[in-house]
Every structure is written in structure tokens, then in C-alpha cells.
Structure 1
Amino acid sequence: MEQEKLISVIVPVYNVEAFLEPCVRSIIGQTYRRLEIILVDDGSPDNCPQLCEQWAQKDERIRVLHKENGGLSDARNAGLKAATGDFVLFVDSDDWIAPEMAEKMLDAMVEYKADMVLCQYTEVFPNGKMLRKYDGKRAVRVYGRQEMFKLLLEDLEVTNHVWRRLYKRKLLPENLFPVGKNFEDMYVMAELTEKCETFVSLNDVYYYYRANPDGIMKTKTSKNLNDYLDALEKSHADICRFCPEMPKAMQDSMRRMRGLTATYLWEDALVVPTLTSQERKQIRERVDKWADMLPEEVPGFNARQRTYYRLFQENDLRAAWIWYELWFNQNNWWCHLKKAVKRAVPLLARNAAEDTFS
């Protein structure tokens, strides 16, 4: 390992008083010690500014930046401007990382002469349940640029999250993230991918993402839906620009992702109660435009997705609503049926055993 290399760890901090300590502890406890830990207090209204200063007194590697609230993108940009390391890690302040994350990812960066290294992550729910998001079986996978674009479109092994990655600092511009926009990760990931030639994907889980029931992804507002569409459009436009001669497999991945996101967004426009009728109409118009270039049969869609997709394309609102309630609502009839079967099978088995021995 190149021990002289400095890694800048950028942590935007806002209203996470309950989670800041485990996050910072996981960073200062890294087995790789040569870190520059930048805590960016984004005008947090709770006790986070004081907690950040207390941590800086405990560990000389920690620097604290206090700024007016400007949002996640602005905080990350401020951290990048202050970073002096050879490499950069982003960690969100309500998440935490494994002790060996920095060491293992830097080892992979050096061994494979990579420009970017990513690891796998586990989603942690408020009830304590943990869910690993992807398991590729092979310990290490090395990709070129075009392969990474395809994986970005598939959104399985490689997602648009800027955390869980180690970057070469020289490839990151200071004002990387779009200020005032949500889903900033999706805005920039295709651009960052274009700057790199070799990527390493590690199968080990080093990042723990805390699922926030009140987070941006869960808060369906007109701004969030429009920001999501803006980010999607920019990401796909960037990939098309960087890969003008796209192979068929990659085209199919783009069409499937476009179809899936059109379906999700159309569903939101249909069912989210906070939208006004005008906002609902505007989202529908944007989704229709987003899906205009798609074929009738989207590659990779299953039967229920194809039906739902066709219904909303044909603007059959009543039928689409019924289909949504049957198959897509989180408490749909299929979920109830599966739960009933799970309850019934042990009961039937127990009754059969009792009949056998009676």
C-alpha cells in the first residue's frame, strides 16, 4: 500500500444529531490512518455544529467547515474545495463505513491502476433489519468505461450513489454537484465515469446506508419528481453523448431503465396525494415525453410491467389505477395472498402431522 497517499473523507452534516457519532467513529477508526476528515456543517439547526467541533478536538485529522445552509450539493462542493488529499471518499453523515474500507479500496486502486473503486453496500432500516443490495459472487471485477455505462443503466451492481466509491481527487472538479437540485448523484455520475478508464468493483460490503423514511427519495413532491426527471434526462443524454455507437445490449438496458422510471414516475403522478391537479398534469406530460422514444415492448419487462406500461401509454387511467392497486400498491392483493400462504402452510403442516399421529 502507498502509505504516503492522503485520502480526504468528505462528510456533509445537517440535522443528524442522533447519527453523527457512529458515522464519525467509523471514519476515525479506519485501519488506514492517513486521512483528512472534513466535516461540513451545512448550517445545521440542531447540536451538530458543536458536536463537529468536539470531534475536531479529539482527532487532529478532523477539520470542520461551518457554512450557511445550501443543501447537500453545496456542502459536498465546499468539502471538495477544501480537500487536499490524493483521493476522495464521500460519506453521508447518517451512514457509517467498515473499518477496512479506506485500506481495501486504496489497495485495489493501486493494484489495478484504477481511476475509481467501488464496494457493495448494505441498507439498514429503522427496525434494525439489514439488506445487502447486491452480491456479484466474484471478489473483484475490473471494468472499462463502456461496461460501466451499461452497469449504470442497469442500476444493480453499480448505482449512481457517489458514496461507496474511492476517487482520484484530480478527476473531481470543485463545483461538481448542481446546487439546489436533488438527486445530485445521478446528475454527475455519467460525467465522472467518462473521466475514468479503469474501474474496480469489490464484492465486499464496506458501506452501511441508513434508510431514512423521511429522506428525499421517500418524499414525493413536485420538486423532487421534476428534479428526478431532470437528473434522468441529463444522465441518459450524457451516456448517449459519450457512447454514440452504443451496442444493442446497452441500448436494451437504456430502454428498460427508461421504461421502468417512466412507469414509476407515472405511478407517482397518479397516486401521490400532495400534488395539485396542475402539478400532476405537468409530471404526466414530462413522463409521456420521456417515454416517447420507447418501443411498445420494453426489453426485460415482465408481464405485469408490460400491461401497466401499455395502459398508461394508452392513457387508460381507470384500468391503470385498477392494475396498480392489484399489483403495484405496497399493500396489493398479491402481497396479502403471499402473507396468507406463509401463515397457512405451517398451520396446514402442523394439522397434517397431528392427524398422522392421532
Structure 2
Amino acid sequence: MTVASRLARLVRSVRSPRPAAPSPGAATVSVIVPFLDVAAYLDEALDSLLAQTYRDLEVWLVDDGSTDESLAIARRRAARDARVHVLTQEHAGQGAARNLALERASGGYVTFLDADDVLPRHAYATMVATLEETGSDFCLGAVERFDAERSWVPAWAREVHARPVRGTTIDAFPAAIKDIIACNRMYRRSSWDERVGRFPEGMAYEDHVPMLRSFLGGARFDVLTTTTYRWRQRPDGTSTGQQKWRQRNLLDRIRAKAEAWRILAAEASEQTQQAWLGRVLDVDLPPFAELAPGADDAYREALRGAYATYLSLIGPTGLRHVRAAKKASAHLVVAGRWNELAALQQAARVPGTLLGRVEDGRALLPGELLDPILGAPGLVPPDLRELSAHESRLAARAQRVSWGPDGSLAIAGVVRFHGIDVAAADATMLVQLPGVSAVHAELEAAPATTGVRPPLAFRVRVPDATTLRSGAITVVARARGLVREGPLLASPGGSAGHRTARTLGAEATVALVPTPDGIVVEAAPAPVAVGQVSLDASRLEVEVAAGSPSRLALARGTERLAPAVGARSARFDLPSPARPGEPWQLVIDPDGPCLPVVVGPDALAALPGPRVWTTPDGVLQVDLARTGAELVTGEALDGALRLILRTGPGEPDGPWHVAASKGGDLGAGLTATAADDGQVALTVPAELWNPGSVVRRRVVTPSGAEVTVPADVLESLPRTIDERDRSLVLRAQDGLLRLELREAAGS
């Protein structure tokens, strides 16, 4: 292995640990699929399910009293795939069907699929791998809706799944409560049984309460950005969620919300309660409000009562989770202003119509915008015109990255406040890069695009990029007292969309790396190539073939030892050792991240004894008090094995022993004799090589240490020495010398 490859492997292990793969014995996933009269969709759903790359599935198809060909389709699929099982029941609803399958499911994980929806091919493999890695109770995959003509991502899904989150709780990430559909998630069965148990029966929206329960009680969950579920909108409007015009459907939603609030009021924190109330006003009730202007009085009255209840419970924290138009709609519903509600809904359907403005540090729908739409002044108070934090979020994207010959770094891109009209003259922006002070960006209006409000263009320059350290780049922008911050993302089309790196002088290598969470800086000290290493008494001298010797240091725990620097060398005067076993390590950049120096085996060729050595990865170690011995070479001599060894300065005189590989002394002690260059020779006589039950031997020094194999010798092993009717093999096992005897064939 070359020095370069060793260094690359070491840097990868320090900076980018590989995530754990799913264990070979990962548990079976129980997939529960209730169905009712879905013959037009069932085959497509099952095709996507049975084609999952994660194969260890237990599929439960539950017929809820179908009158079409659905049951026949299910039975045909079960006959062709042993993983599929079919259950039947009289029509009792999805909740009862899921409960029937849960009673029989035996997998270590459980998930759900609606029979008119489809799965991306790697959905279950992604979720199992995530749960195996994190140990969380469940995970939430991203959702995509689709119909016969298009696909789209719901607003709540864009908010919740904007960035991956691992091992979080609902109190730490309350916005996740907006995602409570059943089929985009996977649970550990033990967590499901402990926290949820069964679905309610005999009602629509039976999944809302169980999914809510699963967040409580300290449950840990993962949020994925990967789409794991494609949720169909049927063209005939026959799915449960598409029948909101029915009063029974509305009453079921109100009933589900009332039961959820009862649980939250008793078990959840105030923060989680407010996040859920925000969800009710932002996600749950607005689809029914869309229908209210054309509904009858009974429908309107039921909806108005629900809005009044939750609007009275929500506080400022909860309102921050609700979009401005949804807050205004809630106010109009409670006031019974149905005509004005219809006018607001019509305006909201035109992109760019309801554009916010910054007033006194708040992002608001301005009164002069709403009043003409509603036909009357002041109908909606300012608190209910404020944009939510997500609705007015900051989005900054780098498009171009360039490195200057003087060690500078320039980044250009665009930034926008979502939902707000902000001019360049009213805004300021700081880019925070790790290791340097925040840098002011130059802002100007970007070229306009037809039909789209233009963002602001920004440029930022870092004069000295050598001071950058590893970490994320963040952006803070201000406009008339409003402050928003977020990551600096990468636009895929420009130079910022792929990894760019530069070695800046002899000091550092800096890379900008785009990730789903934003651009991160990877800063590493520039490599220092070591030529020759020598040790004279307590002085270690390191010749540097490339790089700056001033960037070298010796490290031991939190201690650092700086060198005396020559033109191409670093000299270290080592203190008297307190005790063996605490070596110094040669490193780069003592003031920053400590990166070990990798050296080649030829750098140690002239060193006597084992006081200076390298690890299997080639990292230089120094220990003046080190005892023991290391192998130089081995040769056959008159039927015996002659080992040439370097001993440590603290190694006493006395007998050496050849012992069984797992303990036990074989015969009398051996005596080592002096050899050239301060080395010793140890002769292992043939009578110690009679093969028995123990094949391998170890060599033990007078101090009781085992003989080690240094890196320069390690690459030459195993080595076979043929002698008469036997072969003597020198091996290394975990860096220690092992001797092995092999009888010749037929002897």
C-alpha cells in the first residue's frame, strides 16, 4: 500500500465514517394492505410492493367486503408469491381491516400501504437501513402526490422533509406533527405495540390518532428526504380523502381531531400541543373551508364550531406554524363571512397575488392588499395576517464558486425571502463560513423571469481561504428588521453544484462540498511528505520531502511538542519518558484538527531498535521507553530458524521463549546473541519445531513482550523459508510475529 493510499484511507476514516449497513439478520417487514373495490389499482400497488429491493416481506392483504374483482386479484397474487397472505372480513372499514392483520403479523417491523397507491422501488430498503443504523422507533419518508396528469409535493411535506433528521423527538422537531398519514412510515413492531396498539374502527380518518400517538412518550424517529410513498388522487374522487364535501366526512375529521386533542392535552408538552393546533388550522380544516362557501348551513355550522374551538386554544407559538392565508380563512369562517372567504380563496389560487411585506420586523399580508380582495377594510387583524416561519423562510443558493491565485474564494448566487417582496436596497446579508469572520455579501436585483418574482443576486469574497475550517456555511439576511437564516444550498447547474477543492500554498487543502443540508467546507492541512527519520539519543529528526516542516508536531493525548525548524527538517527534543506505552505521534497542524502523518517504510530504514515505528496505517510513533523487540528478517540456518531482531532500550538481558500461540512455555529459555547494527540474533532450534496440536508459535522477549512486526517488514509477510523436509513460515497476526511449521508432502 502506498503512502498516498494510506493517507487517503486515514482521512476518509476521520472525516466521513461509513454508515452502518443493515445487518444480515434484519427483521421481516410486515406490510398491511386493506382494500375495498380497488380492482383498477390493486395490481399496480402490488407490483410496486413485491418489486421492493428489500425482499424480507410478510404481506397481509385484507379484503374489506369488496364487490368487484379485488379479492380475486389478491388471491392470484398470493398463489404466485409465498410472502403474500389474504384475509377477508365483512365491510367494517380500514381501521378494522388493519387491526385484523396486526393480530397475525409477526415481522419485527410494520408498515402500511393503501391499495390505490404505489411505492418507489427502494422505499423499504431505505427505511430499514435507516432504522438499523439509528435504532429509532420509527421513520417518516417523504411523500409525493400524483394523478393521471402530474405529480406534486404537499406544502406540509415540503416543510417537514426539507432536511434529513435522525433520532429526534416531537419536542425537538414539533413541525413533524404535520405528517400523520399512515403509509409513508415504518415502525419497529415493539414500539408500535407499546405506544399505539390498534386503530379506531367505524370512522374515516382512522389513522390520525394512532399516528399522533406514535410521536408521544419520548419516541425517537427519523425524518427522511427520500420519497418512500406515492399517494394517488383518484380521478373519480372515490377515496376517503376526496369526499370532504360529505357532512359525515367532515364530522369524522372533527371527531378524530377532538380525540387527538384529548390525548395531547393529557400527555404532550405545551410546545407539541401548539404545533398540533397549528397543523389543525393549516392542514386539517382548510380543505373543508374550501368547500364551505357552497355548502349548506349544517355543514358551515359544524365547520365554524371546529374553527372557533381551535382558534381559541392556539397561541402565538402555534400560529407561527400556520400560513397567513389559512389564518385569515379561519378568522373569516368563525365570523361567518362566507362571501369574503370565497374571494380570499380565489385570490390565493393565483400565484404571487398574496405577497407579504415586512412591517416593523414582521412579515405580513398588508392590509391594503387584503382590503380590496375582501371588499371591506380591517376584517382580518394583523396577528392573523402574519406569514408563518416556513412560509417566509430564507432560501440562498450558490451558483458559482471560484478560487483566486492569491488564496481567495468567491461565491456568487441568488437569495430570496419566500412569500415576501424585498428590494435589494432594504436587505443585508452575511455569509458565515467556519474559521473566518462573517462576510458581508453584495446584493442586487437579479434579472426578472416572466411570471416569477426575481430573487436577489449576491456576491461574497473571502480574501484568505487558508483560514477556513471544516463545517457548514450559513446565511443570515435582514430586511427592515426581519431576520431569517438558513444554510447555503447549491444550485445543481453551476460550479457550486459539485465538489470544488484547492490546495492553498503549503498550508491547507480546502473543498466546498454540496450536500442535501447545504454546502459544507472540508478543510484539511496540506500533506507533508516525510523523507528520512533518524533518532539520536532523545532527538528525533524528520526530513521533509514536500510541504512545510513548521506544520509538524508531536502529539500525545492533549500534549503538543513543537519542533526546531530547519530549511527542510523538523527536530524534536524528546523529554525523558515517564513510562512505556504512551508514544508520541507525528501530526500536522497542532493548532487545528490533528491529522496524523503517514510515512513510507523506507523512512525508517536506518533506525535502530523499536523506539520509532509505524502503525499498520503508516502513522509514525515514538516511545523512548519502549521495551520489546521487532522483526528485521528471518533465515534458515542448519535446520534451525535464525531471527534478526531490534530490541528496545529498556529490554533486559535474559532468556527468550518460543511459546504456543495461545500460551504455554515450550522448553528452556533461549539466548540471543549480538548481531550487526546493534541488533540481536535469536536461533530457534529444530527440536522446538516438532509439530503437534499447536501449529503456530509466538516469540516472547525477556521482558515478557511479544515480538512485533514493523510496517516496513509487514508488507513482505507471509514469508516461507524452505528447509529440508519442512517449510518455516513467518506470519503477522495483529502486528505480532507468528512462526508456523509445515511438513513437506509425504514426509
Partner AA of 1:215 in structure 2: S
Q: 1:307 to 1:293 in 2, by over 3 A?
A: same
Residue 97 (structure 1) aligned to one of 106, 116, 119: 119
- What is the SS of the residue equivalent to 2:313? coil
Q: CA deviation at 1:80?
A: 0.7
Q: 1:106 to 1:46 in 2, by over 3 A?
A: same
2:168 counterpart residue number: 143
Kept in 2: contact 1:8–1:87 (CA 8 A): yes
Superposed CA offset, 1:35-87 (max 9, x none) = 11111111111001111110011101110111111111111111111101111
Query: Is residue 66 of structure 2 the alignment partner of residue 44 of structure 1?
Result: yes
Residue 324 (structure 1) aligned to one of 341, 347, 362: 341
Kept in 1: contact 2:169–2:215 (CA 8 A): no
1:160 counterpart residue number: 180
Residue 286 (structure 2) aligned to one of 264, 272, 279: 264
Residue 88 (structure 1) aligned to one of 100, 103, 110: 110
Q: CA deviation at 1:290?
A: 3.6
Separation of aligned partners in 2, 1:264 and 1:140: 28
Separation of aligned partners in 1, 2:197 and 2:100: 8
Kept in 2: contact 1:266–1:312 (CA 8 A): no
1:227 counterpart residue number: 252
Superposed CA offset, 1:175-203 (max 9, x none) = 61111111111121221222563211111
Query: Which structure has more strand as a fraction of its residues?
Result: 2
**1:105-144 maps to which residues of 2 (within 5 A)?**
105-127=127-149, 129-133=150-154, 134-135=157-158, 136-144=161-169
- What is the SS of the residue equivalent to 2:103? helix
2:304 counterpart residue number: 284
- What is the SS of the residue equivalent to 2:32? strand
Residue 25 (structure 1) aligned to one of 41, 47, 52: 47
Kept in 2: contact 1:116–1:196 (CA 8 A): no
Give the gaps of 5 or more residues in structure 2.
Answer: 1-21, 354-449, 452-747
Query: Is residue 191 of structure 2 the alignment partner of residue 176 of structure 1?
Result: no
Partner AA of 1:185 in structure 2: D
Kept in 2: contact 1:161–1:185 (CA 8 A): yes
Give the gaps of 5 or more residues in structure 1.
Answer: 340-344, 347-358
Separation of aligned partners in 1, 2:284 and 2:164: 34
Query: Which structure has more helix as a fraction of its residues?
Result: 1
Separation of aligned partners in 2, 1:194 and 1:337: 37
Q: CA deviation at 1:223?
A: 1.5
Superposed CA offset, 1:158-187 (max 9, x none) = x11111111111233496111111111112
**1:327-346 maps to which residues of 2 (within 5 A)?**
327-328=344-345, 332-333=346-347, 335=349
1:72 counterpart residue number: 94
CA RMSD of aligned residues (A): 2.9
- What is the SS of the residue equivalent to 1:172? helix
Partner AA of 2:308 in structure 1: D
Residue 12 (structure 1) aligned to one of 34, 38, 42: 34
Kept in 1: contact 2:29–2:56 (CA 8 A): yes
Partner AA of 2:135 in structure 1: K
Superposed CA offset, 1:247-303 (max 9, x none) = 4xx565344334446863773674353x4x445434433443343334699445566
2:224 counterpart residue number: 202
Separation of aligned partners in 1, 2:324 and 2:31: 45
Partner AA of 1:161 in structure 2: I
- What is the SS of the residue equivalent to 2:172? helix
- What is the SS of the residue equivalent to 1:10? strand
Q: 1:24 to 1:262 in 2, by over 3 A?
A: closer
Superposed CA offset, 1:220-265 (max 9, x none) = 2222111111212222332332224x24xx5653443344468637
Separation of aligned partners in 1, 2:262 and 2:255: 11
- What is the SS of the residue equivalent to 1:60? coil
Separation of aligned partners in 2, 1:118 and 1:337: 30
Partner AA of 2:338 in structure 1: W
Structure ID, larger Rg? 2
Q: 1:65 to 1:338 in 2, by over 3 A?
A: same
Superposed CA offset, 1:3-39 (max 9, x none) = 4311111111111111111111111111111111111
Query: Is residue 238 of structure 2 the alignment partner of residue 218 of structure 1?
Result: no
1:310 counterpart residue number: 331
Q: 1:66 to 1:312 in 2, by over 3 A?
A: closer
Q: 1:323 to 1:81 in 2, by over 3 A?
A: same
Separation of aligned partners in 2, 1:99 and 1:302: 34
- What is the SS of the residue equivalent to 1:97? coil
| Segment drifting more, 285-294 vs 12-21 | 285-294
Q: CA deviation at 1:324?
A: 1.8
2:267 counterpart residue number: 242
Partner AA of 1:2 in structure 2: S
User: How many residues align structurally?
Assistant: 323
Separation of aligned partners in 1, 2:326 and 2:43: 43
Partner AA of 2:188 in structure 1: K
Separation of aligned partners in 1, 2:259 and 2:249: 15
Q: 1:261 to 1:61 in 2, by over 3 A?
A: closer
| Segment drifting more, 278-287 vs 10-19 | 278-287
Normalising by structure 2, what TM-score?
Answer: 0.40
**What's the % identity of the aligned pairs?**
22
